[in-house]
Amino acid sequence: MKNIFSFLITLIFLQSVNAQTIDEIKSNCNVYLWGQGKGLTLKKADQEALAMLISQISTQVESSFTLLKNEMSQNGNSEHFTETFNSVINTYSNATLKNTGRIVLGNEPDAEVFRYIKRDEVKKVFAARKDKIIGFTSNAENSLEKNQLADALRYYYWALTLLKSHPDGDKINYTDKTGQKQLLATWLPMQINNVFDGINIKIKNIEKEENYTTFILNIFYKNKPIVNFDYSYWDGSDWSNLISGRNGIGLVELYGAAKDAKKIKIKAEYIFQGEARIDRELEDVLQKIDPIPFRNSYFTVSLIIAKKTEEVGEPVKAEINEAIFTEVQDKYPFEKSINNILISIKTKNYTDIQNEFTSEGYNVFKKLIQYGNAKVLGNPELKFIAFNNKVICRSVPMSFNFKSNNKQFIENVIFYFNSSGKVETLSFALSKAALNDIINKKVWKEYDRMILVNFLEHYKTAYALKRLNYIESIFADDALIITGAFVKVKPNEINKYTSNRIVKFNRQTKQEYIKNLKYTFNSKEYVNIKFEDSKIRKAGKGGDIYGVQIKQNYYSSNYGDVGYLFLMVDLNDSNEPIIHVRTWQPVVSKNDSIYGLSDFF
């Protein structure tokens, strides 16, 4: 009885405290917003409380959404503004959840929940979205400088869409690369249209098969080959799957009567709805706001090869075209081997070329051919580089498509010959921007730069081709592997990383990482990795030890994300690179930092 009495006294005390708190919150409307809900379950009651809370937020900010309201009015949809506005406000609910207080007033089956938030906290939610808008805009400018059109258009459009979901969307300014302050509501659409205006697409080559014709495209932006550009084309009855053009090269495949067409309609991709799944908040907003049409995103392209005098822009060259590496003088045996291999890919007859490879090389080749129905594009310009008693052939553009994906990738494939003239392995090339980040580090020896290029290209390819044994071989047995983290490591003096509580929470052993990776590979039809911005430092001691910070775009058949990868790589033995640290984080921290050498070395 004594225990029951004590429990009742405690319960009455807690209820009186809650009642006092709730009364204070309700009466202090200048400081708090609140919502109260009932239901058979706590979840239902909580949802009702949050809905009421969001409704109060809506009332506070509806009059501020002039950018969205004016656009809907111009498009003749003003009668649907309230409905769209309410949907847009609900995209803030997930973010708001992190900042609300919750008091349970009654348990199931008579559940009752009280939710509240300070008005200043609501301002922080809107401020966080503004930061994301500014961040996307900055990413777009950086991408455009590198001719990464797919990335530039994606970030510009995402920034513009989020802008329409912000109560101050018509007032937010951005300081551009020239130092000029720009009103984003007018500047972002202008930037997107300027990108479209700078694009020029020409037919480079035509390859006719029995049932279809492949047209190889040269794609330029301001007379320079694009680094990446996503588009679809009208095939006579529907729009094609997305094509991911690369290094100035794209393709169009027409079947039936359409293969004899004289011109074609091409539509630039700029919404990137699929890639938006990397950010739940962004994905939600894109679903709630009607797509913004850009008429300039459509191009009519002649399917007749232009005369040389009509060609526009620099020719598309091999990705490494700087004369800093030694080219092979006697190319003939290597050209012959590559030609035999390319013919076998085009004819899908691989029985006669096995002797062009080592045993391991042929296994990698088969994996590559099986990776998305590989096709060779045109007659590529090849560069044969002598390096480390071997020969590297860069690079053969190929297209890859997958049954479960609506996107067709174009990758540049590299062939590695051993000292006996056999192809011992293959890889996908880094983007030209990522290559230049390494090649232009002229304070490093050419040898070191090439080793680093080779390593990163094999690294990304191993994930694409699901080469689990290779991945396992390049990680040290005691490697520190962090698969996701929102904070920067603060190592102590005793142990550089293993004693840190946060690192322990996010850490996987090599065995755990490989086991999880095996499951990931088995559950996905394909994996595709693209590297963007990179910062590479060489350690001051330890020989050839490098810290690689790189922005990674990860795509697969059922998942995608963008994050920041850090690798601490030991390249002292160029034949056996070893990764001692591999970290991944979804965002750059507030002080613009990501994991680096100073955290671990």
Q: What is the CATH number of the domain that holds 113?
A: 3.10.28.20
* Beta pairing, strands 527-538 & 249-255: unpaired
The answer to whether the CB of 581 falls within 8 A of the CB of 567 is: yes
Mean pLDDT of the region 252-276: 89
Find out whether 53 and 35 touch, Cβ atoms under 8 Å. Answer: yes
- Give the model confidence (pLDDT) of 40-84 as tens digits: 999 999 989 988 888 888 877 777 888 888 887 777 777 778 888
As for how many domains the chain has, the answer is: 3
Same domain, 138 and 171: yes
Could you tell me if residue 316 is inside a domain?
no
Do 450 and 593 share a structural domain? yes
Using an 8 Å Cβ cutoff, are 234 and 400 in contact? no
Domain assignment of residue 415, yes or no: no
Burial class (CB in 10 A: 0-12, 13-18, 19+), 131: exposed
Single-letter residue type at 189: P
User: For residue 297, is it within any domain?
Assistant: no
Distance of CA 320 to the CA centre of its chain: 24
Of the pLDDT bands very low, low, confident and very high (cuts 50, 70, 90), residue 256 is confident
- Do 41 and 65 share a domain, yes or no? yes
pLDDT digits (tens, 9 = 90+) for 211-254: 888 899 999 999 999 989 999 999 988 999 899 998 889 999 99
Residues 474 and 590 in one domain: yes
Q: Smallest Cα–Cα separation from 430: which of 527, 526, 530? A: 530
Pair 467, 486 in one domain? yes
User: In terms of domains, do 95 and 172 share one?
Assistant: no
Average pLDDT over residues 363-369: 89
- Choosing from 173, 194, 215, the residue where a domain stops is 194
Task: Tell me the C-alpha distance between 538 and 568, whole Å.
Answer: 10
Per-residue model confidence (pLDDT) at position 10: 46
Q: How far from the centroid of its chain's Cα atoms is residue 201's Cα?
A: 25
Q: Is residue 160 part of a domain?
A: yes
- Same structural domain for residues 36 and 172? no
Picking from 71, 90, 123, the residue at the C-terminal end of a domain is: 123
> Considering only 18-22, 28-32, 183-187, 366-370, which range has the smallest mean pLDDT?
18-22
98 and 175 assigned to the same domain: no
pLDDT recorded at residue 315: 56
Choose among 451, 346, 399: nearest CA to 338.
346
Sign of the dihedral through C-alpha 536, 540, 546, 547:
negative
Q: Does 311 score more than 70 pLDDT?
A: no
Does 387 or 434 have the greater pLDDT score?
Answer: 387
Same domain, yes or no: 495 and 596 = yes
Among 174-178, 468-472, 540-544, 574-578, the range scoring the smallest mean pLDDT is 540-544
Q: What are phi and psi of 78, to 5 degrees?
A: -60, -30
Among 122-126, 295-299, 591-595, the range scoring the smallest mean pLDDT is 591-595
Phi, psi of 21 (to 5 degrees): -65, -45
Largest CA distance in the chain: 101
Residues belonging to the chain: 601
| Among candidate residues 400, 374, 394, the one with its CA nearest the CA of residue 454 | 394
* 22/31 Cα distance (integer angstroms): 13
Question: Based on the number of CB atoms within 10 Å of its own CB, is 497 exposed (0-12), middle (13-18) or buried (19 or more)?
Answer: buried
Amino acid occupying residue 154: R
Range of the domain at 552: 434-601
User: Do 33 and 180 belong together in one domain?
Assistant: no
- Closest by CA position to 470, among listed 481, 457, 453, 484: 457
Q: Which of 91, 230, 212 is nearest to 153 (CA)?
A: 230
Output the pLDDT for position 64. 80
Q: Which of 81, 100, 123 is the last residue of a domain?
A: 123
Are 575 and 451 in contact by the 8 Å Cβ rule? The answer is: no
pLDDT score, position 314 = 59
Is the whole model's pTM more than 0.85, yes or no? no
